Amino acid sequence: MKAEIKSVLTRASATLARDALGLASIVVAFIVALHLPGSF
């Protein structure tokens, strides 16, 4: 089981990095969008 997880992580490391970057950008966009009404 551990070997399978390690194999998946090594094969998909670039994809996981892109997904994490996309998730971070979505979170930042939500935070900005939620704070915009308070600034007016």
Tens of pLDDT, residue by residue over 6-31, are 898 889 888 999 999 999 999 999 99
Rounded CA gap, 27 and 31, in Å? Answer: 6
Statement: the pTM of the whole predicted model exceeds 0.85: no
Rounded Cα distance, 25 and 2, in Å: 31
Supply the pLDDT for residue 10: 87
